[in-house]
Chain A
Amino acid sequence: MSSFEILKTDLTNKFGANDFKFITTPVGDDVIECTKESIPALLRYLKEYADFNFLMDICGVDYPTRAKRFDVVYHLFSSKDFRRLRIKTQVSEGEAVGTITPIWRGADWFEREAFDMFGIKFAGHPNLRKILTHEQFVGHPLRKDYEADRQQHCDTVMPIRFDDTPTQRGDVLNSKFVPLNIGPSHPAMHGTLRVMVELDGETIVRAGCEIGYLHRCFEKMAETHPYNQVIPYTDRLNYCSAPMNNVGYCKTVERLLGVEIPDRAKNMRIILCELSRIIDHIISVGTGGLDLGALTGFFHLFTFREKVYNLFEKLCGARLTVSMTRVGGMAQDAPEGWYESVLKFCDEMSDGIEEIQKLLIESKIFIKRTQGVCPASKEQAQAWGYTGPLLRASGINVDLRRTNPYYGYEKYDFDVPVGASGDIYDRYLVRVEEMRQSIRIIRQACKNVPKGDYTIRNKNIVLPEKKDVYGNIEGLMNHFMLVIKGLRPPIGEVYDATEAANGELGFYLVSDGSANPYRLKVRPPCFAIYQSFPEVVQGSMLADAIATVASMNVIAGELDR
């Protein structure tokens, strides 16, 4: 009996047989559909008795022709046996579904986002306000009846306000304390983050964040573009490690299509992903040091980032936003000698990591600024939905490359570094160690490059090669048909996640059988992490809050989408 069937028996015994519908989708996702009334009780039960201890995502889907217009979709993950579960419920316009913020505090921003984008109400949510769109924005943009390009101008800036609590209103400032606004245009706020604090001397009494300054409507753009044209948009989610987003998205579409990509493409995707992980950690560690005043580390590490740019340039011509993957494989094969230059880079990077270890990580000032500062405990990390290096720094050993391996990661020999205290120093230690492990993976991958094709050759999915398009009638025909008709996955839905540099990057894709995705929800890792910011910095010094923002490695592109 599979674990899903065991769960089915459990739930039927506990809640009765009528409330739930148990479905396993054709691609193998486990789904429970239920009424909106049973949501809080069911999720609490799943968390406490069925080991689904991580809430990964909450999102809405709009079906304007249906009586109950919206789907509310919850994605759960178990860090005990690494299973996933999707819970779906339906609500109609104006109806509210019970909030689950008391069960997972990480539900806070996800529910606010569903409210902002669809107007779905969550009864009992303490701060059901707009989150991504600006204050003067009228309507809910991800509804199907909102046109993608209907802009609404904004001429004010939101004054300082915090989240409401049972005892205190968020927009009323306390005259005993000094209110301070940091960002969005501030060197430590990386361009688009805005942090508001109330200070008693230099101690933070209350903190709040405002996001959405880089909300570029990724999800709406995905709904209005064919599947392959979405790939360049994914580049710009986490722009510090663009290829990883390409891989995550293509892997999701491929899973819905039910195709397996060739080994050579898998190998190349692994190399690209691990190179991206290195350059993402370079930005994180480099700018982290920069925010603490250590300029040298940044300049030193950026030399290596440039070297990776050179490798990307050799591969496809672009430096930052590579768009190298296609649904079904890669856009092209690696040029001659590319794998050798990657190996050469690995040697240089190994030396570079040891240098940065001595220069920054072992520096006395750096240690004093970061060790024991603003730690996030195991329980906090779990409640807020941390993933990736921050989760591992808190001491929970979950790395999707190990726990739910894809592309043959199980064949590679590498270690997963885990921290102990979850403070800022541990986060950087984990990141630096991950860079070393990535180099190990790249070396193994480059030495065993599989022979064969770099993409599948299914004429309904992949465009034929240019030589065929210009050389023979069949190639021309297939090209024409695919461009006109588009890539059309079967009707259905899928959630798939990869281990990106910041944590779990998930894509929830709903297809209605047309050439555009019906709904594409991104589960960005730093969205869940950043919402814990007001709590973890409360009571610490202002300068520590700056160090905390840097260590969370919040990338606005994927935070705001």
Chain B
Amino acid sequence: MTEQKGSATDAALTTQSADDMSRSFAFTTKLDALVAWGQRNSLWPLPYGTACCGIELMSVMGPKYDLARFGAEVVRFSPRQADMLVVAGTITEKMAPILIRIYQQMLEPKYVLSMGACASSGGFYRAYHVLQGADKVIPVDVYVPGCPPTPEAVLDGVMTLQKMIKDHTPRPWKDNWKYPYAERLNENDPVRLISKEIDSIPMVAQPQVTKGMGV
């Protein structure tokens, strides 16, 4: 199979020509359409389950609802390996800096799905220690309402996100996102210095040439 840039539109894929192409040796599409196809069908979730929604998220992953059908079953707790941050549960003020750190550590392309009322708006916890929505600190792409949402609703949220990726929906909330506590940051904070050091370590080990072993 070969790919050529810009010879067919997405719409063309659904027509007779696509059908014909699939029978021949070659298949043409736009590169970004192909990339989006790959991205949306392999959304590896990071389940940031903090509360009740985390239990419902288990159901979403579990045998009955089975998120694997949407290509999102590879649960990764390492933000470096995840594409979709599922904020499932109440985010408290104490948790907010950690959520931001996790979001910052994720590699592009990255998406955020806010599951449930608490993550979307604070829910019915209008209270002194609860952040009034995860979008106060990180950019959220899809909000799933419910307390907790049914697994069907979460699946719908994932499908909405897939459609956004397919349509290349502009995401100004993400593009214009700034670190929310920038002004108050203490650069000499030891925790921050350590994490800077960690962030500067290259992700892939550099290939090393060993002397005396010619290829």
Complex Cα distance, B136 from A154, in Å, reads 12
> A217 at interface (Cβ–Cβ under 8 A)?
yes
Chain A nearest CB from B98 CB (Å) reads: 6
A-B contact count (CB 8 A): 146
Most buried by A among B94, B129, B186: B94
Q: Are A186 and B191 in contact (CB under 8 A)?
A: no
Interface residues of B in 110-163 (CB under 8 A from A): 118, 124-132, 147-148, 150
How many residues on the A side are at the interface (Cβ–Cβ under 8 A)?
51
Complex Cα distance, B51 from A223, in Å, reads 22
> A314 at interface (Cβ–Cβ under 8 A)?
no
Complex Cα distance, B131 from A155, in Å, reads 12
Q: Report A-chain residues with C-beta under 8 Å of the C-beta of B125.
A: 216-217, 221
Q: Report B-chain residues with C-beta under 8 Å of the C-beta of A176.
A: none
Q: Are B129 and A156 in contact (CB under 8 A)?
A: no
Q: Which A residues have a C-beta under 8 Å from some C-beta of B?
A: 132-134, 137, 141, 146-157, 159, 184-187, 190-192, 212-217, 220-221, 232-233, 235-236, 239-240, 283, 299, 302-303, 305-306, 309, 319-321, 556-557
Chain B nearest CB from A178 CB (Å) reads: 14
Q: Are A221 and B127 in contact (CB under 8 A)?
A: yes
Complex Cα distance, B51 from A320, in Å, reads 12
Most buried by A among B102, B125, B127: B127
Chain A nearest CB from B112 CB (Å) reads: 14
4 nearest A-B pairs in the assembled complex, by CB-CB distance: A217-B127, A239-B52, A155-B181, A134-B94
User: Closest chain B residue to A136 by CB distance?
Assistant: B93
List, sorted by A's number, 15 A–B pairs whose CB atoms are closer than 8 Å: A134-B93, A148-B127, A149-B127, A191-B51, A192-B50, A214-B89, A214-B90, A216-B92, A239-B55, A240-B55, A299-B63, A302-B58, A303-B62, A306-B59, A319-B56
Q: Are B190 and A155 in contact (CB under 8 A)?
A: no
Q: What's the dominant secondary structure at chain A's contact region?
A: loop
Complex Cα distance, B148 from A213, in Å, reads 19
Chain B nearest CB from A34 CB (Å) reads: 32
Knowing A191-B48, A319-B150, say if A217 contacts B130 (CB, 8 Å): yes
Q: Report A-chain residues with C-beta under 8 Å of the C-beta of B190.
A: 159
Q: Report A-chain residues with C-beta under 8 Å of the C-beta of B186.
A: 156
Chain B nearest CB from A358 CB (Å) reads: 19
> B173 at interface (Cβ–Cβ under 8 A)?
no
Q: How large is the interface on B (under 10, 10 to 19, 20 to 34, 35 or more residues)?
A: 35 or more
Q: Are A157 and B191 in contact (CB under 8 A)?
A: yes
Most buried by B among A153, A185, A303: A185
Q: Are B97 and A154 in contact (CB under 8 A)?
A: yes
Q: Report B-chain residues with C-beta under 8 Å of the C-beta of A302.
A: 58-59, 62-64
Q: Are B148 and A220 in contact (CB under 8 A)?
A: no
Q: Are A152 and B93 in contact (CB under 8 A)?
A: yes
User: Closest chain B residue to A237 by CB distance?
Assistant: B52
> B189 at interface (Cβ–Cβ under 8 A)?
yes
Q: Report B-chain residues with C-beta under 8 Å of the C-beta of A152.
A: 93, 128
Q: Report A-chain residues with C-beta under 8 Å of the C-beta of B184.
A: 155
User: Closest chain B residue to A309 by CB distance?
Assistant: B59
Chain B nearest CB from A137 CB (Å) reads: 8
Q: Are A214 and B51 in contact (CB under 8 A)?
A: yes
Chain A nearest CB from B56 CB (Å) reads: 6
Interface residues of B in 176-213 (CB under 8 A from A): 181, 184-186, 189-191
A159-B190, A221-B127, A305-B59 known; 10 other A-B pairs, CB under 8 Å?
A: A137-B93, A153-B93, A155-B185, A185-B48, A213-B50, A214-B89, A216-B125, A220-B127, A320-B56, A321-B147
Complex Cα distance, B97 from A155, in Å, reads 5
Q: Report A-chain residues with C-beta under 8 Å of the C-beta of B130.
A: 151, 216-217
